Every structure is written in structure tokens, then in C-alpha cells.
Homo-oligomer: A and B are copies of this chain.
Amino acid sequence: MVATLPKLEVCLSPALLHLYNTQGAVVVIIDVFRATSTIAAALHNGAKCVIPVADVQECINLGMQIPNSITAGERDGKVADGLQYGNSPSEYPRAFVENKTLVLTTTNGTRLLHMVQDADTIITGSFLNLSAVCNFLIQQNKPVLLGCAAWKDRFNLEDTLFAGAVVSRIKEYFSINCDSARAANYLYEHAKESTFIDFLRDSSHYKRLSAYGLSYDMEYCATPDLHPVVPILRGRELIVHT
């Protein structure tokens, strides 16, 4: 019976994506600090959709074309020139974002999302929608690749910790023979005695973003299940899976 379970694997960096077969798989794009956290928050608070784009100019252009849209994105911890808003999940309350299209430019998460070409389904994951993602993956009963967006292709703790949290919760439903998945699971088991954020304070990304005054953002991003939706890619748009 075990052999019939779908496969679950973890890809630790976009630079390793070519090693995995994503055809027919459900791919979870993970960019905890902060793209996929912001996506969960905006969609849970009623945004019509989120359109992830690779660069600032494309973001500006789409913002001009799409009625009732918001352009957002940061570079070096500040709202990028020409855009309206930043990349903080707490910046998108319902009163502001409801029924709007959020055109969001991020570097690592968007790049990975666009690299995956032949998946059955692409969703985004973060601690803010951890349980929703896990339930979705169990329901789908298809091969899963948890794709960490990393930082400029470098392994990072926060995305891997989230992958480990998913592995830990759904591993009985999948066949796992992937050392990255095992390591992510061990990392999660090691961390869970503390809260996620206490663990992540000793990470490269936390140090970089806290230097920009964004510690609160990261505490927000590390809170499980604040925004229990499954953002799913349809064409170029991420919408709430229903």
C-alpha cells in the first residue's frame, strides 16, 4: 500500500529546481519573508487576486492597465520607486485591499513561481496559511514539490522551516525518499520547542530585514494560520482556492 502513496519532495533552492520533475505535481511556492505571507494576507482580506511580476516596470505597466489595482514591491526594505505600497503582510487589511487587484513584484518568490512550467497546480505557502496548505495537499493526493524560494538561490532557514512544518504534518499521506524533506522535517522538529520566530531570529534574512526596521513584519509572518486561504495560480493570477 505504501508504494501507492504520491511522492513528496523538497527543493531547497531555485538553482536545484531542474533536479525535480514537476510535471503533474502540486508545487508549493514558499517565500516566507515575505512574498507568500503578503499574498496569503491580501487574499484572505478580500483582494480579488494577486498578480506576481518579476520587475518594477512590469508592475507599473500592469497597474496602469488594470482598474482598481494596487502596485506594490520593495527593494532593499523600501517601497520601490514608482510603486505605491510595500511588501508587508500587515499593510493589507480588508478595509484597504478588498476587491482590489494587487500587482506585487518580489524577487525570489516570483522568480521561482515563473520557473515552474509544467506543474499540475501551483499554490503559495507560508506560516500564515500553513494548515490550509496542508489540508489542500492531502486532499489533492498528487505528487508534491515544496519549493523554497531561498535568497538569491542561497538556502534559507525560514523557507526550509516552513517546508519542514508541512512535511511533519502530512508525511503519513505521502511517500518520502528525499533527504531535503528529511532535513527540513528535522529542522522543524528541532525548532518547534521554541516558537518559529525565536528560531528564525538567528537567520540571515531576519538579520537583514530587522536592520531595515522590519522585525514586526517577520513576527507577523511567523504566526501560524492567521490567514487560512490557499492561493492558487490561474493564468497569471493568484486567487483563493474554493
Contacts and interface: CB of A to CB of B under 8 A. Distances in A.
Interface residues of A, number: 29
A85 interface: no
Interface SS majority for chain A:
helix
A19 B189 contact: no
Contact of A179 (B156, B190, B191): B156
B179 A203 contact: yes
A13 B177 CA distance: 18
B207 A180 contact: no
B178 A204 contact: yes
Contact of A160 (B156, B157, B183): B183
Interface string A61-91: 0000000000000000000000000000000
A241 interface: no
Given A157-B182, A183-B157, A16 B19 contact: no
A12 interface: yes
Contacts of A13: 16
A114 interface: no
A236 interface: no
Interface of A: 12-13, 15-16, 19, 151-157, 160, 177-180, 182-183, 186-187, 189-191, 202-205, 207
